[in-house]
Structure 1
Amino acid sequence: MVRVISSQPRKQRKARYNAPHHMRGSLLHAALSKELQGKYKRRSIRVIKGDTVKVLRGDHAGTEGLVDYVITRDARIVVDGVSVKKADGTEVPRPVDPSNVMITDLNLEDKRREQKLSGE
């Protein structure tokens, strides 16, 4: 996480927006469900494409879906089924902050991720 001494919201926000690329990954962590926490002995992990998440906050709270893609630059994720209607009636995906979701199922196609979780 970006270390900021100040507790002022404007400075916290500025630190997130101006965070270097190598620190943005820490802004993409989301909480694991209770079952996954017990299985992997971790509270949170970085969200990747293919994970199944449940939205906990906002207008789409309760919606569960696959992560379509991750926007590293903005520290947001796009979840299947979370969208808003434009004025002309077309649906566009609504990016969600990873802190507002809970991972319910992991995408373990990446062998390095699987090894890291198993502790080998």
Structure 2
Amino acid sequence: MRKTHFTAPAGLRRKIMSSKLSKELRAKYKTRALPIRKDDEVLICRGHTRAREGKVVKINRKRFKIYIERVIRDKVNGESTFIGIHPSNVVITKLKIDKNRQKILDRKSKTNSS
């Protein structure tokens, strides 16, 4: 199981890197979770940065981490860097909807409503 998880191909990693939807979005789209993507707005629910909100700036599928604006750490040399957070520790509060994502939402809501 561990080997399968850490050697998963990109398409499977995308699915593994899913986050729960907020209660409002869950009621609207009739689905519990979606793969996270850049420009989604999230609320951190776990860890020492909990209760912070922001937009997803970058996703690292190799390390299973997402990076959120304003969630940064100052390094010893004075630089600031993003703190990596696992997608299971956040809740999506606002989705970035495009044509493909809308298709996915329509398909999921259709199967969940019947």
**TM-score, normalisation: structure 2:** 0.86
Deviations 1:56-107 (A, max 9, x none): 1111101100000111122211111111111123211111100000000000
Q: Which residue does the alignment assign to 1:116?
A: 104
1:99 and 2:85 correspond: no
Point out which structure has higher relative CO (alpha carbons under 8 A, 6+ apart): 2
Instruction: Name the % identity.
Output: 33
Q: 1:118 Cα shift?
A: 2.6
Unaligned runs of 5+ in 2: none
RMSD of the TM alignment (CA)? 1.5
Aligned partner of residue 4 in structure 2, secondary structure = helix
1:1-120 to structure 2, matched below 5 A, reads 4=1, 12=2, 14-108=3-97, 110-119=98-107
**Aligned length, in residue pairs:** 108
Give the aligned residue type for 1:117.
L
What TM-score, normalized to structure 1? Answer: 0.82
Deviation, 1:16, is 2.4
Worse-matched range after superposition: 55-64 or 69-78: 69-78
